[in-house]
Amino acid sequence: MASRVTVMESPLCLIENTGGNLCVNPEAVDILMGINQPVVVVAVVGLYRTGKSYLMNKLAGKNHGFALGATVQSKTKGIWMWVLPHPIREGHTLVLLDTEGLGDVEKGDQKNDAWIFSLAILLSSTLVYNSRGTIDNQAVENLQYVTELTERIKVKSPSGDSASGDDDDGADAQFVQFFPKFVWAVRDFTLELKIDGRDVDENQYLEHALSLKKGRDRKTADYNLPRECIRNYFPSRRCFVFMTPASPEHMSRLESLNEGDLCPSFLTVTTIFCKYIFENSSVKTVKGGLPVTGRMLGHLAKSYVDTIARGDVPCLENAVLTMAKIENEAAGRDALKEYQTGMQELCFPVDLESMSRQHRLCETLATKTFMSRSFKDDGGEHLKDLAEAVAKHYADLLCQNEEASEALCRKLLSELSAPMAKKMQEGFYAKPGGYELYCADNDSVVAQFRSKPNKGVRAEEVLEQFLKEKSVESNSILQADNKLSEQERKIHEDKQKVAMLEQEKRRETERREMAEKMLRDQEEGHQETMRQLMVKKKKEAAEAQKEMEQALESKLLEQERLMAKGFQRKVEVLKEEMQNLKEGIEITRQREQAAQREAMMSMGQVLSGGVQSYMDYKIAREGRKVEKYRIQQAEITRRQGTQHYHGSRPDLPRGGGLKQGVPGQGGPNLSKHQQGKPKPGQAQASSSTASTGTQESSSKSSVSPEKPADPQNEGSAV
């Protein structure tokens, strides 16, 4: 599926915040639903009136866009979205989220602020925290919402198999796998970057501000709590300090100032900040390390906001499962549509090889389409549904192709046999030697029919039915031809039987080849699906492994930092968390292996299901043939009430002729003195030269002229 590149001329509200009630904006979600590219999501949070929107406009490469305010009132309400092509990553989309300012005095709702902060974390791959002045204790405490994240976000479903009593205790280890990178932007910084008289850079400044104090008293614990949360939840963190961009009198119209009116150092840091964000902000992922597209981001936003509106706590696991179900169902529909579209290129009737080749090609493309969009289809249920739908559609197309072939062949035989029908009406064959003339004409029809190309897959079967229909009039002409002796009639009858057996063998070969081809198609399709499935499972396992290893690496880094500061007790806690992570890596590996085995078993059932679809198709076709046979037999019985066929008589006048008859409808009508009684067991067959094949039949059949072949024997599936 081709990726759509969406360009918004201006921001749009994604999550509305009206009276403290959050809801998604359908128009914004529709825009996200149209984005099939992976998204890099950058969200900015911070106290109101600290210049968040200005930074987001710079990331968008614009001076205008997100609303800037020149008063003490907050301009941004809810969460606003700006979707743009990523400036340096081809095939990726940049999504900028500007959030409502925290601590707005007009709103005065800390709980609502906490949900805004939580949503920014849940939706972003990079979180920019914007503050003003310095990173002092007050600035850190303003990030109080980070201490409430375990109350606002759950990683695992309480009702799931993974639930346990110590989930909250391991929240730090869990969050670090799914939380965004953290960037602290300090605005209007006026101090020197020095600690104890030593020059430091911005990142050292941030780490110093997040340093922990030793002690177990309540005051020390309160001091350390927000710092521990930031260190544990956001192991990947970076700091930028911005000088005041312009003089106080110009700050109220910052967005309209030319770059020449701005402080050069401010512009330099802004450029470095934007470059860092573009180069280091990763694609948004969900649990399991799966990349998120714009469409998936829309599902996540709606799922999280709906959960909050119900009064529940957003759960990463539940949101991913809900999104996976929606995405996998959509992936199945898209894949099936691609298969159906590809098969429409065929123009029925076609030969079996062309049909099979197009089926394999379209099935492979459909599976590839499904694999590219689906995720978390651990048991392979949605892939199985797709395979079954493809098998059923293919069986339906096989039926359509056979019907088209049968219609074409019947039309062709009708046209080729029209001159014979006319001769029958004129009594041309009602004379001594008429049988040989009839056989010559009939053989010519068969030869012309076989020489015609592109008749499809039912040619031999339709020809066999045609010859059986003709056998009644052929036998009548044979019995009425007084030129032939009894011995000559016997020889002709034997030749008719051989020719019909050879034709039956041709028909059976045609059917067997079709059945065998169907089974080969199913097996080859199964193998290709399994190949693509294994590639996808390995990729997903590698992503999950990478996610766990990154979390482990971040814990190791934090352990080193704490050991350097002498926090031995906290080091022990980290060691326990790292051990849990290692066990989690092993559990993830085992689950992936089990999922692969389950998927393989499931797809094995699909193979059987595909063959069953074919057998169901054959049974349905046989049902139609039985009904057709019943109608034909009723018509023959009706005609036989008025038609009587007898063998030739010794006293038949020389030159006596046959009356007009209808070809293929029970044979010609004979006058009384020409009628004779056929011998018992008389075979119903075509002329001796109806088939030029020399194959020997493995079975013999004798069909009486009064009763056509039983279709149950004709159409048995191979």
Q: Tell me: do 598 and 478 sit in the same domain.
A: yes
Pick from 314, 339, 359: which residue ends a domain? Answer: 314
> What would the mean pLDDT of 380-400 be, rounded to a whole number?
88
Is 599 within a domain? yes
Better pLDDT: 379 or 286: 286
Residue 268 has pLDDT above 50, yes or no: yes
Domain extent at residue 137: 12-314
CATH code: domain of residue 248 = 3.40.50.300
Is 423 within a domain? yes
* CA R_g for the chain: 41
pLDDT in the model for residue 203:
93
> What would the mean pLDDT of 517-541 be, rounded to a whole number?
72
Residue 564 has pLDDT above 60, yes or no: yes
Cα torsion through 232, 234, 236, 240, rounded to 10: -120
Write out the two tokens for 425.
């009406």
Report d(CA 218, CA 213) in Å as an integer: 12
> What would the mean pLDDT of 185-212 be, rounded to a whole number?
91
Q: Lowest mean pLDDT: which of 65-74, 453-462, 570-579, 675-684? A: 675-684
Residue 297 has pLDDT above 50, yes or no: yes
pLDDT category, 647, cuts 50, 70, 90? very low
Is 546 within a domain? no
> What would the mean pLDDT of 689-695 be, rounded to a whole number?
36
pLDDT category, 173, cuts 50, 70, 90? low
Residue 200 has pLDDT above 50, yes or no: yes
Residue 708 has pLDDT above 70, yes or no: no
Residue 262 has pLDDT above 70, yes or no: yes
Q: Lowest mean pLDDT: which of 406-410, 443-447, 504-508, 622-626? A: 622-626
Is 533 within a domain? no
* Reduced DSSP (H G I as helix, E B as strand, rest coil) percent helix, strand, coil of the chain, to 5: 60, 10, 30
pLDDT category, 668, cuts 50, 70, 90? very low
Is 530 within a domain? no
pLDDT category, 577, cuts 50, 70, 90? low
pLDDT in the model for residue 416:
95
Residue 628 has pLDDT above 50, yes or no: yes
pLDDT in the model for residue 343:
95
pLDDT in the model for residue 369:
92
pLDDT category, 555, cuts 50, 70, 90? low
Report d(CA 13, CA 593) in Å as an integer: 43
pLDDT category, 308, cuts 50, 70, 90? very high
Better pLDDT: 2 or 482: 482
| Cβ atoms of 547 and 494 closer than 8 Å | no
pLDDT in the model for residue 476:
85
Q: Tell me: do 120 and 255 sit in the same domain.
A: yes
Is 225 within a domain? yes
pLDDT in the model for residue 278:
96
Residue 257 has pLDDT above 80, yes or no: no
| Cβ atoms of 705 and 682 closer than 8 Å | yes
**Beta-carbon neighbour count of residue 539 at 10 Å?**
13
Mean pLDDT, the chain, as a whole number? 77
Q: Tell me: do 411 and 282 sit in the same domain.
A: no
Is 386 within a domain? no
Q: Tell me: do 283 and 431 sit in the same domain.
A: no
The residues that bridge with 47 in the sheet, in sequence order, are 102
Report d(CA 214, CA 221) in Å as an integer: 9
pLDDT digits (tens, 9 = 90+) for 604-617: 555 555 555 555 65
- Helix (H) / strand (E) element for 129: namely strand 126-132
pLDDT category, 568, cuts 50, 70, 90? low
pLDDT category, 694, cuts 50, 70, 90? very low
pLDDT category, 678, cuts 50, 70, 90? very low
Cα torsion through 696, 699, 704, 706, rounded to 10: -100
Rank 209-213, 332-336, 353-357, 483-487 by mean pLDDT and report only the highest: 332-336
DSSP 508-566: HHHHHHHHHHHHHHHHHHHHHHHHHHHHHHHHHHHHHHHHHHHHHHHHHHHHHHHHHHT
pLDDT category, 174, cuts 50, 70, 90? low
Report d(CA 392, CA 612) in Å as an integer: 9
The domain total for the chain is 2
pTM exceeding the 0.85 threshold for the entire prediction: no
Q: How far apart are the first and last CA of the chain?
A: 39
Q: Tell me: do 422 and 302 sit in the same domain.
A: no
The pair phi, psi for residue 437, each rounded to 5°, is -65, -40
Is 53 within a domain? yes
Report d(CA 81, CA 99) in Å as an integer: 9
Pick from 273, 293, 314: which residue ends a domain? Answer: 314
Pick from 314, 337, 370: which residue ends a domain? Answer: 314
pLDDT in the model for residue 652:
36
Rank 117-126, 289-298, 490-499 by mean pLDDT and report only the highest: 117-126
